[in-house]
């Protein structure tokens, strides 16, 4: 029987799996046979790994496990497009994964940490604090979980956004190992261009991403275009001020020859006036940038509200005057707490309420 400390096979990239197997005397042929069984034939148990050499299967049973994520709670938006899952990890932690199906193109929003250490004031995940980093297998596991749901209705996954719970660049190694598994040509073979990583602005991580060969998209959460305004919403802004952040973004954009997406959560009266838009326009003018404006999804721990539609339009008009393109991203499934961390917060509040109070 595999022990609790056994290796989760989904934690391993193909080269890492090769290293494990070669230590047992099995070469690349066996590695690739196992890899395709996991990611092409979708085996989820050792019994389904038929066709492998019996000695290899025995070693796998003894030393490894196939860690699956269980559905702890799920809900569907009233428009039917959004399916929000709260998935349970082996240690009982829960994380959010959101599946959005729109016009036959499925997108999944996945988590990279249980909680988050960055403390953005309006974010339900930030309000929880960090429990722990996810392992690569727990990040990949979210994709495998939604793939099973999609396969049942003959759909396929197209886009992956790392915009769920947590800060991906605070969990750099595990996140990148997971990305390497997702794009591996012999397995899930997802297009790197259909993967977007969103960061709060971890400068060393952005520079490292620029230096490595992973052609995924980068989105940077700004929410403020002066250090003081940004830091009031995003405490990480004190650690990595805007001049350092924008330098890193320019470095990324030049090195990777890529457009950067900037996210701006619009909060009524806080960061949605014409003046805020002018400051942002000046900051991004001349860059290969695209702004995604997202009206705030209100959270229990923050008293701000979303901008009115006319303020959103006026904000965009000012950006256009600086030749900065923008798109409004409505958070789909607002009725099911589809903002980052919100379902978990709601489910936990509910279960606390239903628990008997101790004397």
Q: Is 116 an annotated catalytic residue? A: no
Is 134 or 340 the residue whose CB approaches ligand SAH more closely? 340
The residue ranges that bind ligand SAH (CB under 6 A) are 120, 122-123, 163, 167, 198-200, 221, 263, 265, 294, 296-297, 299, 331, 339-340
- Per-residue x/- marks for ligand SF4, 71-110, CB under 6 A? ----------------------------------------
Q: Does 140 bind ligand SF4 (CB under 6 A)?
A: no
Nearest-angstrom CA–CA distance, 122 and 105: 29
Least separation in angstroms between CB 350 and ligand SAH: 19
Q: Which residue minimizes CB distance to ligand SF4?
A: 126
Contact region for ligand SF4 (CB under 6 A) — 2-10, 117-125, 241-249, 283-291?
117-125
Nearest-angstrom CA–CA distance, 24 and 145: 30
Least separation in angstroms between CB 256 and ligand SAH: 18
Least separation in angstroms between CB 312 and ligand SAH: 13
Least separation in angstroms between CB 342 and ligand SAH: 7
Q: Does 203 bind ligand SF4 (CB under 6 A)?
A: no
How many of the chain's residues bind ligand SF4 (CB under 6 A)? 11
Q: Is 340 an annotated catalytic residue? A: yes
Q: Kindly list the residues in this chain that would bind ligand SF4 in the complex (CB under 6 A).
A: 116, 118-120, 123, 125-126, 166-167, 200, 340
């Amino acid at each position: 029987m595999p022990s609790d400390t056994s290796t989760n096979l989904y934690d391993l990239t193909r080269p890492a799996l090769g290293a494990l197997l070669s230590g047992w005397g099995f070469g690349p042929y066996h590695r690739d046979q196992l890899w395709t069984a996991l990611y092409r034939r979708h085996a989820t148990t050792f019994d389904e790994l038929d066709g492998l050499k019996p000695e290899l299967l025995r070693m796998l049973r003894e030393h490894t496990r196939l860690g699956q994520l269980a559905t702890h709670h799920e809900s569907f938006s009233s428009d039917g497009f959004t399916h929000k899952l709260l998935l349970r990890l082996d240690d009982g932690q829960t994380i959010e994964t959101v599946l959005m199906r729109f016009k036959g193109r499925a997108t999944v929003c996945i988590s990279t940490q249980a909680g988050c250490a960055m403390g953005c004031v309006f974010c339900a995940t930030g309000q929880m604090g960090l429990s722990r980093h996810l392992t690569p297998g727990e990040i990949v596991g979210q994709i495998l979980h939604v793939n099973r749901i999609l396969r049942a209705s003959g759909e396929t996954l197209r886009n992956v956004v790392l915009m769920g719970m947590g800060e991906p660049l605070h969990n750099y190694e595990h996140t990148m190992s997971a990305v390497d598994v997702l794009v591996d040509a012999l397995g899930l073979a997802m297009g790197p261009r259909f993967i977007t990583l969103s960061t709060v602005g971890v400068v060393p991580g952005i520079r490292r991403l620029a230096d490595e060969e992973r052609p995924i998209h980068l989105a940077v959460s700004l929410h403020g275009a002066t250090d003081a305004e940004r830091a009031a919403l995003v405490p990480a802004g004190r650690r990595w001020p805007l001049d350092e952040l924008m330098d890193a973004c320019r470095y990324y954009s030049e090195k990777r020859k890529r457009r950067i997406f900037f996210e701006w959560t619009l909060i009524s009266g806080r960061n949605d006036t014409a003046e805020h838009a002018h400051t942002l326009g000046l900051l991004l003018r001349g860059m290969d940038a695209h702004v995604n404006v997202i009206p705030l999804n209100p959270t229990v721990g923050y008293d701000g509200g979303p901008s009115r539609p006319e303020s959103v339009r006026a904000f965009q008009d000012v950006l256009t005057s600086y030749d900065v393109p923008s798109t409004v991203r409505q958070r789909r499934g607002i009725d099911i707490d589809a903002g980052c961390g919100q379902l978990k917060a709601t489910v936990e509040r509910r279960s606390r309420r239903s628990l008997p109070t101790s004397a």
